[in-house]
Amino acid sequence: MEHAESLEGFCKKLPKIELHAHLNGSIRMSTIQELWDRKADRSGDLPFLEAQKTKDFQSAFSMFSVIYQLVQGLDVIDRITREVIEDFAKENVIYVELRTTLKAYDDKTKLDYLDVVLKAMRETAALHNIEVNLLVSINRAESLENAMEAVELAVQRKDQGVVGIDLCGNPVCGKFSELRPALEKARREGFKLTLHAAEIVNYGETQEILDFSPERLGHAVFMTDDLKSQLFSKKIPVEICITSNIKSQSCDGPLGHHFGEFYRKSHPIILCTDDMGVFCTSVSQEFSIVGDTFQLGREELYDLSLSSIDCSFASEASKETFRRRMRESRTSLG
Ligand code: 6MZ
């Protein structure tokens, strides 16, 4: 049957949820440019643009240092939180789990940072018919002491939209095993956990992470057959970030991406952007990519979006609301 709507149009209209979005990596390109233009001591082109051209995994990380030079202060954090949520809402994302590493600026504490993000989340969500929760990130390059502090701050704001803890950061730095006590503490405090895993080849650590059984994993690119079969039998949902993996050269292209294998095994997966500013993507685009590459029909894309809801850390009542919104949209989707 011919569809009046293009695949891109369908994927944009499809209600979606986003479970893997780093706040600073999701910054709008136009905002980065504006912050750069305002900088008194700039010379030459925005280094972000230069960094975006380079494509290996470590140069993807160099973009975060450019962002951090420009995103200084809670007023900017407030602005980018609002803009990122607006951008998700514009493409019919009905629920987002944003994640961010808490930072202290001048006289402002990490708790101030957390409060600014939570307030901006609440206010913007109310304006745009989108629900937003927060995961506090632990950067694996940080000390255990810092990781413990992040969990303690998350505990202080548990009833205000913090639903989980993420382990992220440059995978060549730090070790899961050394930060594990902070993640155990988070678990004791009732937080759900999502851990970046297997973004580079590190089978030993991937095994430790699987043994730890977090509620979700991010990426899961470099897995042996044995690790994959453990993952499949444990049914740990995986946040899949295709454009991020391609642009950081963790895989050759969409066709060779492990989405195909995980999808065929009916393993729980969620299509995510990772860093929509850094990697110039959107959740709608991630759906279009899998529709095109793996020949998924509209029913299958709809079901993929619907099943992602089960993997979220939202309350059961919220999940029911998302499912209802998806059902209601079904007839108008084309
Ligand atoms: C691992 C990543 C990442 O926390 O300052 N981050 N960690 N793998 C990735 N794949 C490309 N993309 C982003 O957002 C930016 C931070 O998120 C983590 C990095 O630690 C980065 O510094 P926040 O809001």
Q: What ligand 1 atom has the least distance to the C-alpha of 141?
A: 20
Q: Is 286 in the pocket of ligand 1 (CB under 6 A)?
A: no
Cα-based torsion angle of the residue sequence 141, 144, 147, 151 in order, rounded to the nearest 10 degrees: 160
Residue 36 or 304, more confident: 304
Q: What ligand 1 atom has the least distance to the C-alpha of 274?
A: 12
> 106: domain CATH number?
3.20.20.140
Q: What ligand 1 atom has the least distance to the C-alpha of 279?
A: 11
Q: Is 262 in the pocket of ligand 1 (CB under 6 A)?
A: no
Whose Cα sits closest to atom 17 in ligand 1?
Answer: 22
**Cα separations (Å) of 163 from 11, 34, 40, 198, 313?**
27, 32, 39, 24, 6
Q: How far is the CA of 244 from the centre of ligand 1 (A)?
A: 11
Report the distance separating Cα 53 and Cα 277, nearest Å: 13
For residue 41, pLDDT over 90 is answered with no
Whose Cα sits closest to atom 3 in ligand 1?
Answer: 169
pTM over 0.95: yes
Best residue for ligand 1 mutational test, from 168, 243, 244, 245 (most atoms within 8 Å of Cβ): 168
Q: How far is the CA of 222 from the centre of ligand 1 (A)?
A: 18
CA angle in degrees (0–180, nearest 5) for 185-310-261: 100
| 187: exposed, middle or buried (Cβ count in 10 Å: 0-12, 13-18, 19+) | middle
Whose Cα sits closest to atom 6 in ligand 1?
Answer: 169
For residue 152, pLDDT over 70 is answered with yes
Q: Are 163 and 192 in contact (CB under 8 A)?
A: yes
Note whether residue 67 is domain-resident: yes
Q: Are 171 and 192 in contact (CB under 8 A)?
A: no
Q: Which domain holds residue 50?
A: 7-333
Note whether residue 1 is domain-resident: no
Q: How many CA atoms lie within 13 A of 216 on its CB side?
A: 29
Q: Which two tokens stand for residue 208?
A: 């430790």
Residue listed under structure tokens 């995978």: 171
Q: Is 100 in the pocket of ligand 1 (CB under 6 A)?
A: yes
Q: Is 26 in the pocket of ligand 1 (CB under 6 A)?
A: no
Active-site residue, selected from the candidate residues 199, 205, 239, 286: 199
Q: What ligand 1 atom has the least distance to the C-alpha of 68?
A: 5
For residue 188, pLDDT over 80 is answered with yes
Q: Is 196 in the pocket of ligand 1 (CB under 6 A)?
A: yes
**89-139 per-position pLDDT tens digit:** 999 999 999 999 999 998 999 999 999 999 999 999 999 999 999 999 999
For residue 105, what is the DSSP state? B
**305-315 per-position pLDDT tens digit:** 999 999 999 99
**252-276 per-position pLDDT tens digit:** 899 999 999 999 999 999 999 999 9
**203-247 per-position pLDDT tens digit:** 999 999 999 999 999 999 999 999 999 999 999 999 999 999 998
Per-residue pLDDT, 115: 98
Per-residue pLDDT, 66: 86
Note whether residue 2 is domain-resident: no
Q: Is 308 in the pocket of ligand 1 (CB under 6 A)?
A: no
Per-residue pLDDT, 39: 80
Q: Are 193 and 165 in contact (CB under 8 A)?
A: yes
- Counted domains in the chain: 1
Q: Is 60 in the pocket of ligand 1 (CB under 6 A)?
A: yes
Query: Which of 273, 285, 207 minimizes the C-alpha distance to 22?
Result: 273
Note whether residue 304 is domain-resident: yes
Note whether residue 15 is domain-resident: yes
Note whether residue 224 is domain-resident: yes
Per-residue pLDDT, 1: 46
Amino acid at the residue 163: V
Note whether residue 320 is domain-resident: yes
Whose Cα sits closest to atom 20 in ligand 1?
Answer: 169
pLDDT band at 57 (very low <50, low <70, confident <90, very high): confident
Contacts 24+ apart (CB under 8 A), 58-62: 58/170, 58/172, 60/244, 60/247, 60/248, 60/278, 60/279, 61/170
Q: What ligand 1 atom has the least distance to the C-alpha of 22?
A: 14
Q: Is 199 a catalytic residue?
A: yes
Q: How many other β-carbons are positioned within 10 Å of the β-carbon of residue 32? A: 21
